[in-house]
Amino acid sequence: MLRIYGSARSRGVRTLWMVGELGLEYEHLDYAPRSPATRTPEYLALNPNARVPTIDDDGFVLSESMAINLYLAKKHGKLYPKDAKNEAAAWQWSFWETDRLDRQLTTYANNAFVLPEAQRDAAAAKAAWDEIAPALDVLETALGKSQWLAGSEFSIADLNVAAAMVRALSFDLGKWPKVHAWLHRCWDRPAGQKALAMRQ
């Protein structure tokens, strides 16, 4: 049995969307980030970074949301590109998101609207946005060439990047119309909607 550690309100939503796409049965341990459950010796043995998500797939333990999704898609032969070039494009976009958008989006969202107003840091929000905007330009250009990020259909590349951009669903993306349309096209999938509902 596949066990998923990590709340849907965390990067765990990426894994929960993926298993929905694959139609897998799983056990969900709804651990919140920084919760005591992520600090126990048992959990630290699975993920010494004390972060979520982590999976235990019949004894195979893996962390890092992008790697988890690439592994699950490849293992189950769905949404994983069959040719080497599109496979590499899926890696490229997953690593790109981690480098150019991942923490920047969290920092921006926290300091722009998630934290109570008194705890927000406007300078941190601006610094994050100054990195997010050029990354969205890059994505807009890529989506001007192709509807999807790796090949001619929705794939793990789109899922990994769109899932990591969950916060951007509430941003004004008017300057990036292709990103806006693509992001909603991805999240409108039934498995995306189901994962999103788990965040409520």
Nearer to ligand GSH among residue 110 and residue 147 (C-beta)? 110
Q: Where are the alpha helices (DSSP H) in the chain?
A: 12-22, 41-46, 65-76, 84-97, 103-109, 122-145, 156-164, 177-187, 190-197
34 is an interface residue for ligand GSH by CB under 6 A: yes
50 is an interface residue for ligand GSH by CB under 6 A: yes
Find, among 75, 43, 83, the residue nearest to 57 by Cα: 75
- Cβ contact 149:142 at 8 Å: yes
State in angstroms the smallest separation of the CB of 166 from ligand GSH.
Answer: 10
Residue 53 to residues 13, 34, 111, 155: CA-CA distances in angstroms? 9, 12, 23, 21
* Beta pairing partners, 29: 5
Choosing from 5, 17, 21, 51, the residue that interacts with ligand GSH (CB under 6 A) is 51
Distance of CA 186 to the CA centre of its chain: 12
Give the residue at shortest CB distance from ligand GSH.
51
Contacts of 200 (CB under 8 A, 6+ apart): none
52 is an interface residue for ligand GSH by CB under 6 A: yes
Kind of pairing, strands 60-63 and 54-57? antiparallel
**Among 48-56, 124-132, 142-150, 189-197, the segment contacting ligand GSH (CB under 6 A):** 48-56
State in angstroms the smallest separation of the CB of 18 from ligand GSH.
Answer: 12
* Binding-residue pattern over the window 5 to 24 for ligand GSH, x denoting contact by CB under 6 A: -----xx-------------
30 is an interface residue for ligand GSH by CB under 6 A: no
56 is an interface residue for ligand GSH by CB under 6 A: no
Q: How many residues bind ligand GSH (CB under 6 A)?
A: 11
107 is an interface residue for ligand GSH by CB under 6 A: no
